């Protein structure tokens, strides 16, 4: 199905097999605040690298996978089948960085990240600036051969695991710039680490940057390029969010179907009751539609589609897939009944975890605005 090539099927199978290896660790992670023993986490990271499932979006000449957009989706779809963010071990460093990185940045940041020796986090979002990145108030002021960074960033995902951050701030001109900030650095501190609905080992703290000095060599690209990098990152991450939602919905659909077929009430399996059968059928139908959309969007990127069209289609893919997965998770909890409300049940964990997919990397409302704007500019026929 879906016209996958032999190479596509091979990387999909490797990713699926690896996801199956991770799934047995979910309940342990859930019981321990999302954390697994360091040796277990290291073994998972090593295994992901051995299978060629890390840095699939990075050039092969730098040590990355050099995979097509569709193959990247296939890998992340399988990682989405695993709760507690255990699938995040199949890392995807910023795909736009190699094209703009200096030789020094390639050696200090890009190559080590691809090799699994370094890990990044993103310090972009602020209390008053979420989906509207241009509303950030953080500043980056030139100071000789350095820049002085100031700002308070929210939801800095994976900060506790990272050894450098991408910091986005506004120059005195009002243009955006992005910088590489080594962690720890003087002036960088955690304000607080909120608790979130999900149970994962990657924290999302509020981080203050107070008179942080970085060398000019740590400027990414040129002054004024920051927004372009943010938009490219959003496009990529929206596709990966959509892919992971496919995986979550696929696993939930399989799990609740198996349960409904074996759960007997009133002398017959609950799958034979019309209301339950409807939930199963709707879940698979919506998954089929979402998967076809995401795969086709990825193929468009591989064909070199206009970036504005891809931008809108990535928004459509994230919008539909994230909302679809949320509906599937809700149905799964209902099908499992009381069991579905127990944290040891995959439906309960996904019910909490999938909610954020409609928020981060741009809310569903923002996706609808992007799609509508492109419809009026280009016409619906150009987008679908």
Specify if 81 maps to a domain.
Answer: yes
Q: Which residues contact 123 (CB under 8 A, 6 or more apart)?
A: 151, 153, 156, 159, 165, 166, 167, 168, 181, 207, 209
Which residues are bridge partners to 265 per DSSP? 268
Biggest CA–CA distance in the chain, Å, is: 80
| 165 lies in the same domain as 47 | no
Which pLDDT belongs to residue 127?
96
- Domain ends where: 29, 58, 93? 93
Task: Identify the three-state secondary structure at position 184.
Answer: coil
Which pLDDT belongs to residue 133?
87
- Domain ends where: 199, 220, 241? 220
| 287 lies in the same domain as 245 | yes
Q: Which residues contact 206 (CB under 8 A, 6 or more apart)?
A: 152, 153, 154, 155, 156, 190, 191, 192, 193, 194
Specify if 356 maps to a domain.
Answer: yes
Specify if 273 maps to a domain.
Answer: yes
What CATH number is associated with residue 83? 1.10.540.10
What CATH number is associated with residue 254? 1.20.140.10
Distance of CA 140 to the CA centre of its chain: 27
| 192 lies in the same domain as 210 | yes
| 215 lies in the same domain as 238 | no
**Helix-strand-coil percent breakdown of the chain, rounded to 5?**
55, 15, 30
Which pLDDT belongs to residue 1?
84
Range of the domain at 128: 120-220
| 257 lies in the same domain as 348 | yes
| 89 lies in the same domain as 163 | no
| 48 lies in the same domain as 141 | no
Whether the upstream peptide bond of residue 371 has omega within 30° of 0, thus cis, is no
Give the predicted TM-score (pTM) of the model: 0.97
Q: How many domains does the chain have?
A: 3
Residue 201 falls in which region: left (phi positive, over 0), alpha (psi -120 to 50) or beta: alpha
CA distance 333 to 320: 20
Burial class of 40 by CB neighbour count within 10 A (0 to 12, 13 to 18, 19+): middle
CA distance 354 to 241: 10
| 280 lies in the same domain as 240 | yes
Specify if 109 maps to a domain.
Answer: no
CA distance 273 to 55: 45
Q: What is the chain's pLDDT, residue by residue, as a tens digit (384 residues)?
A: 899 999 999 999 999 999 999 999 999 999 999 999 999 999 999 999 999 999 999 999 999 999 999 999 999 999 999 999 999 999 999 989 999 999 999 999 999 999 999 999 999 999 998 778 889 999 999 999 999 999 999 999 999 999 999 999 999 999 999 999 999 999 999 999 999 999 999 999 999 999 999 999 999 999 999 999 988 999 999 999 999 999 999 999 999 999 999 999 999 999 999 999 999 999 999 999 999 999 999 999 999 999 999 999 999 999 999 999 999 999 999 999 999 999 999 999 999 999 999 999 999 999 999 999 999 999 999 999
Q: Hey, what are 241's tokens?
A: 């969010």
| 240 lies in the same domain as 372 | yes
């Amino acid at each position: 199905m879906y016209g996958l090539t032999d190479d596509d099927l091979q990387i999909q199978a490797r990713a699926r097999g690896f996801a199956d290896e991770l799934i047995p660790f979910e309940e342990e992670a859930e019981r321990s605040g999302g954390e697994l023993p360091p040796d277990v986490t290291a073994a998972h990271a090593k295994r992901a690298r051995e299978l060629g499932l890390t840095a699939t979006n990075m050039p092969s000449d730098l040590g990355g996978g050099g995979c097509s957009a569709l193959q990247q989706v296939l890998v992340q779809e399988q990682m989405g089948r695993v709760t507690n963010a255990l699938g995040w071990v199949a890392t995807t460093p910023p795909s736009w960085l190699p094209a703009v990185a200096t030789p020094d940045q390639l050696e200090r940041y890009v190559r080590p990240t691809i090799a699994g020796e370094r890990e990044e986090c993103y310090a972009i979002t602020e209390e008053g600036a979420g989906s509207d990145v241009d509303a950030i108030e953080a500043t980056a002021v030139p100071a000789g051969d350095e820049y002085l960074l100031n700002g308070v960033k929210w939801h800095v995902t994976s900060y506790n695991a990272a050894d450098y951050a991408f910091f986005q701030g506004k120059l005195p001109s009002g243009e955006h710039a992005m910088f590489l900030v080594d962690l720890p650095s003087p002036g960088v501190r955690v304000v607080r680490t909120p608790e979130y609905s999900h149970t994962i080992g990657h924290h999302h703290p509020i981080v203050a940057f107070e008179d942080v000095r970085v060398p000019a060599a740590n400027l990414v690209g040129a002054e004024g390029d920051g927004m372009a990098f943010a938009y490219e990152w959003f496009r990529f991450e929206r596709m990966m969010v959509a892919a992971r939602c496919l995986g979550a919905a696929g696993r939930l659909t399989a799990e609740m179907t198996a349960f409904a077929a074996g759960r007997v009430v009133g002398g017959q399996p609950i799958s034979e009751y019309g209301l339950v059968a409807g939930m199963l059928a709707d879940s698979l139908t919506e998954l089929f539609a979402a998967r076809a959309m995401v795969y086709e969007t990825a193929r468009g990127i591989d064909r070199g589609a206009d970036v504005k069209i891809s931008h809108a289609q990535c928004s459509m893919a994230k919008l539909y897939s994230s909302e679809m997965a949320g509906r599937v998770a809700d149905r799964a909890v209902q099908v499992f009944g009381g069991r579905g409300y127990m944290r040891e049940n995959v439906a309960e964990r996904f019910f909490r975890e999938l909610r954020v997919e409609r928020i981060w990397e741009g809310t569903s409302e923002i996706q609808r605005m992007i799609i509508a704007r492109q419809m009026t500019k280009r016409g619906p026929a150009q987008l679908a």
